[in-house]
Structure formats: C-alpha cells, structure tokens
Amino acid sequence: MRLAVLLLLLASPSAADTVVAARMLRPQTIITETDIILKNAEIAGGYSSAEAVIGLEARVVIYPGRPLRRSDIGPPALIDRNQIVTLIYDTGGLSISTDGRALGRAGEGDRIRIMNLNSRATVTGTVQPDGTVRVP
C-alpha cells in the first residue's frame, strides 16, 4: 500500500517553469539574461525557457514578477517609424523596387504599412531579414 502511494506521488506531474520579468521592461527593450528569472509555475501563454526570450524585444511595459507572454514580446524592430525603406513589389516574373516611408515600427516577419514616396499610396508589406519590405 505504501509503495503504491509513493509511486503515485512520484508519477504526478510537477509544475513547469515560467519566465517572468526580474525588473520593469519598457517597450523597445531587448531582453537579456539579467532581465528575467524562472518561476516555478505554469502560466498559459507564457514561455518556459529563458533561451526562447533572450534577444527578443518588449512590445509593452512588463512589470517585475509578471510572466512574459507571447503577445508582449517579439523580434527586435528592423524598421522605425518614418524610416525610408525599400519596397519590393513581386508579381509573376516582374520585380519593382522603390522607396517608401514606414508608418510604424516592425521586426522581421511583421506586417507594416508603408507610404510609397512616388505615388503617395499606402501599402502593406512584410519585413524581410535585410530590412526591405516585400509587397504582394
């Protein structure tokens, strides 16, 4: 009987670690090892690995002791608001590039609105790893 209770206790799942802020993180802060700690709790939508969040950027204010959620952090911004960027239009076998002005901040893979400087039209595109914006 005692052996069965002991096995049952050992077989029960333990709580997972969750990454929480060690200090207040302001928006646009790149997260480093000193900014986070692991807390022995499982929180839905949070990160369980410190390696997964180091190098990412805070998108909102994150207070000390609060878990880092997937919606609160993201890749570092490659493009800042009002920055001149290269727009690349790809359709079929034709590729056109022109300059545009960013209407917001965005990181790799994010969608961003850009004003084409030639036509003054506003288009939406995806930020590429080299900082250009690809428009479908």
Which of 112, 104, 103 lies closest to 133, judged by CA?
112
Regarding whether 70 and 36 lie in a shared domain, the answer is yes
- Give me the mean pLDDT over the 27-33 stretch: 94
Place of tokens 């960027």: 85
Q: What is the C-alpha to C-alpha distance for residues 134 and 87, in angstroms, rounded to an integer?
A: 6
User: At 20, is the pLDDT very low, low, confident or very high (cuts 50, 70, 90)?
Assistant: very high
Give the number of other Cβ atoms within 10 Å of residue 129's Cβ.
10
User: At 15, is the pLDDT very low, low, confident or very high (cuts 50, 70, 90)?
Assistant: low
Q: Above pLDDT 90, what percent of the chain? A: 71
Tell me the residue range of the domain where 104 lies.
77-135
Q: What is the C-alpha to C-alpha distance for residues 114 and 84, in angstroms, rounded to an integer?
A: 9
Task: Please tell me whether the overall predicted TM-score, pTM, comes out greater than 0.85 for this model.
Answer: no
Is 113 within the bounds of a domain? Answer: yes
Average pLDDT over all residues of the chain: 87
pLDDT in tens, 37-90: 998 887 787 898 899 999 999 999 999 999 999 889 988 999 999 999 999 998
Please determine, for residue 21, whether its predicted confidence score (pLDDT) is greater than 80: yes
Number of domains in the chain: 2
Greater model confidence, 10 or 45: 45
- Give me the mean pLDDT over the 113-135 stretch: 96
Q: What is the C-alpha to C-alpha distance for residues 34 and 32, in angstroms, rounded to an integer?
A: 5
- Give me the mean pLDDT over the 5-19 stretch: 55
Q: Which residues contact 17 (CB under 8 A, 6 or more apart)?
A: 38, 39, 40, 41, 48
Is 93 within the bounds of a domain? Answer: yes
Q: Which of 42, 74, 106 is the C-terminal boundary of a domain?
A: 74
Beta bridge partners of 40: 17
Please determine, for residue 9, whether its predicted confidence score (pLDDT) is greater than 50: no
Regarding whether 59 and 105 lie in a shared domain, the answer is no
Regarding whether 30 and 70 lie in a shared domain, the answer is yes
